[in-house]
Amino acid sequence: MTEAQRSVDVTVAAGADVSYQASIGAGSKIWHLAQVREQAVLGRNCIVGRGAYIGTGVTVGDNCKIQNHALVYEPAQLGDGVFIGPAVVLTNDTYPRAINADGTQKSASDWEAVGVVIERGASIGARAVCVAPLTIGAWALVAAGSVVTRDVPAHALMAGVPARRIGWVGTTARRLERHGEVLVCPDTGERYCEEGEALTRLGDDGTVAPHDNGEGSGH
């Protein structure tokens, strides 16, 4: 990191490897043995745990937590408030090979990196694997040990190998409770209606809430 980047309340532990070409937001903390590569952009107040890897050009929003030994390969994009659990892997190669068909070793020009996009507030549980390319919607929750192979709707609760939707969660990650045709968050009281594989947040009058910003919709 440059001297200017170090001066804006960024903590880099001894033993962390942070490129001088990376951009780290104020208040962020990079812990021991973590690596942040060139052109990576981390927002404000992020935490990158011990041994985690942030690939070249990865973008991370504000207030994200990337736990110990997580591997976030380029060109992943993480929105604000995303949680990446311990030992999570975000892949970037749909057709992985070490060599070409003629036996020569593959170089950077022999394959095309594809990324995982994780939208605002979503959480990926420990040791889950997200197989790019795919998008995980806002406030979704992927259970520990899952293997995600397709796009995930906002607020979806995903589990299994391969991961399937087994329910819906609210903004606090608690499972929504069904009350007739309405789903209710037990923590906040927020109400939602289910429309196929999408969820829509309802206002106090029972209609679709305005200015939802995609938090309660599929994609």
- The residues carrying an active-site annotation are 69
Say how far apart CA 47 and CA 179 lie, in whole Å: 38
Q: How far apart are CA 165 and CA 156, in angstroms?
A: 6
Separation in Å, CA 211 to CA 33, 89, 217 = 41, 33, 12
- Sign, Cα dihedral of 103, 105, 108, 114: positive
DSSP 3-state of 73: coil
E strands, 37-100, are 41-42, 47-48, 53-54, 59-60, 65-66, 71-72, 77-78, 83-84, 89-90
Give Cα 180 to chain centroid, integer Å: 32
